[in-house]
A and B are shown apart, each in its own frame.
Chain A
Amino acid sequence: MAEVLVVVESSQGAVKKVTLEMLTLARTLGEPSAVVLGAEGTAAAIIDKLAEFGAQKVYVAEDADLAGYLVAPKATVLADLVARVSPAAVLVASTQEGKEIAGRVAVKLDNGILTDVVALDADGIATQTVFAGSTIVKSKVTKGLPLVTVRPNSLTPSPAPEPGAATVETISVAVADGDKLAKVVERKAEAKGARPELSEASIVVSGGRGVASADNFKLIEEFADLLGGAVGASRAAVDSGFYPHQFQVGQTGKTVSPQLYVAIGISGAIQHRAGMQTSKTIVAVNKDSEAPIFELADFGVIGDLFKVIPQAAEEVRKRK
């Protein structure tokens, strides 16, 4: 069977869920090979996990410059690898960095690219949802090999039925000056607590304009924590300064597709729906019975969120 490259995303020694999803997908297409691109010491902690999810081979490219400069060095290493091994497909996470790497590889190899893919079959036909989730598109790369970025939470990751040890192949890296134009001088973490990452979470609890203040977002955070979910925010809430932009769900923010999406004090403008309407189950709390969010909610509570949510939190605690 042909080799399928999966570009690994990891953070502090942990493989991101989207990578495990891509390995699971890759197993249906061929023999998964994971590609680790990062600073020295990135691969050691994660190789076993990659093998557990079916990576038969792990390409390890480690160099301080891969992390020290924005995406161009990673794209060069990946494009060289793709040209060398001619895989059946290349899967990259549909994150900002993943898309950027894939975009550069597409130009380098004059190869087509498909982004935000939610499914890919063995014939290279990819499924995408576009226009705020209203349209389903089947598409394919017509020049070169299937180079796709896979949207997080598109499938359920599962360990390989008979995992073996992965063969490790080290790739030597020498980053050229032309790839060292955008230097990362500092990485700053902004606390999201122990919560799961927004685009990967299976439960997302979001607050909107109705939450009314940054302080009140504690209510949203508390309820998210009780459900083990991530916190999101509508654009109105972000623009009002209630919550940071990296948690914005919608047209100009993140697209999420969790098992459960709880919309609290969110009217459901199209800008917001664009980012969440492919969620499996949607629940809404809003005092306006005419709010458009109720049109897509599987269950809606018409009422004051400042009464409903604390009571719901108490009820969850009782049931635990």
Chain B
Amino acid sequence: MKIVVLVKQVPDSGAERNLRTDDNTVDRASANNVINEMDEYAIEEALSLKEAHGGEVVILTAGPEKALDSIRKALSMGPDSAVHIVDDALHGSCAVATSKVLAAAIAQQNADIVISGAESTDGRVQVMPHMLAERLGIAALTGARKLTVDGSTLTIERQTDEGYEVVTASTPAVVSVWDTINEPRYPSFKGIMAAKKKPVQTLTLADLGISAGEVGLAGATSAVVEHSKRPARQAGNKVEAGDDGGVKLVAYLASEKFV
């Protein structure tokens, strides 16, 4: 079984994040860039499938050169190799164009399963798995909180607002996972050392048969017109509960007409 895991490097969601003032793209230069948190759950799921069913796990990342840090970090958890799509022309790509690039790279891999996180913490657009499935003509099992594999049949529990849906498909398929699906392992010292020597194949747009004009800011299907910082919320009144904290709380709610 060959499993491709999509990994995205994103600005740390625990720190302040900004858009650039020159071209309105995500400011990655000044940010602390890390693996998109949800992707660690995708990697874990892939590794446990490999442990149960055999096969190999390949990391796939599109991003600037320094995304290699996140690729090595991903490899330190245990995947076998990685593919890194690096091309200056990719800067500022929209979701539609990014899906074209990733789909082309996945098609070269001949994977049985493609696993991704349910969303990235920077864009939170949540559309990539279905965009890829649409382009590749394969199934998309998205929003999984549980995944089981029986031969070539995949079954997920898909989290919904009302509960969950049980959805099945045959390989090849794209699966996206929520952070409830497993507990990602920590890289071992041995894993970190081994990751430094694992093969990372670098691909350009030309290697994927995509021209520069189809991607990046030039080929984007949407654009940020302007952006501004939202004024920070002002802290309001803070009171000690004393003996009547509940009464104070409800008095406030009543003054705001919620009670």
A binding-site residues for B, Cβ under 8 Å: 11, 70-72, 75, 95-96, 99-100, 102-104, 106-108, 110-116, 125, 129-144, 178, 181-190, 192, 197-199, 203, 227, 238, 245-246, 251-252, 259-260, 270-271, 274, 277, 281-283, 285, 289, 294-304, 307-316, 319
Contact = CB atoms under 8 A, between A and B. Distances in A.
B259 A70 contact: no
B161 A181 contact: no
A304 B243 CA distance: 10
14 contacts: A11-B162, A99-B126, A100-B130, A100-B140, A115-B126, A125-B225, A138-B225, A141-B221, A185-B155, A188-B163, A270-B14, A285-B241, A301-B249, A319-B254
Given A135-B19, A182-B173, A274-B13, 13 more contacts: A96-B126, A103-B130, A134-B230, A137-B224, A187-B162, A203-B258, A251-B121, A271-B14, A289-B238, A295-B235, A307-B245, A313-B246, A316-B253
The A contact surface, by secondary structure, is mixed
Contacts of A303: 240-242, 245
Nearest to A296: B233
A178 B137 contact: yes
A115 B125 contact: yes
A313 B160 CA distance: 30
A311 B244 contact: yes
Nearest to B142: A100
B127 A271 contact: no
A184 B241 contact: no
A136 B245 contact: no
B124 interface: yes
A141 B96 CA distance: 11
A108 B145 CA distance: 28
Given A113-B96, A303-B241, A190 B246 contact: no
A299 B253 CA distance: 9
B224 A139 contact: yes
Q: Which of A116, A178, A303 has the most CB of B within 10 A?
A: A303
A126 B131 CA distance: 22
B125 A99 contact: yes
A315 B127 contact: no
A234 to B, nearest CB: 13
A184 B221 contact: no
Contacts of A190: 162-164
B247 A311 contact: yes
A293 B202 CA distance: 44
Interface string B87-123: 0000000111001000000000000000000010111
Interface residues of B, number: 86
B164 to A, nearest CB: 5
A187 B229 contact: no
Contacts of A139: 222-225
Contact of A129 (B138, B179, B230): B230
Closest 9 A/B residue pairs (Cβ):
A303-B241, A311-B246, A103-B127, A112-B221, A312-B246, A181-B139, A190-B163, A112-B222, A298-B236
Contact of B250 (A116, A251, A294, A319): A319
B236 A75 contact: no
A298 B255 CA distance: 12
A178 B160 CA distance: 24
Contacts of A95: 161
A140 B226 CA distance: 10
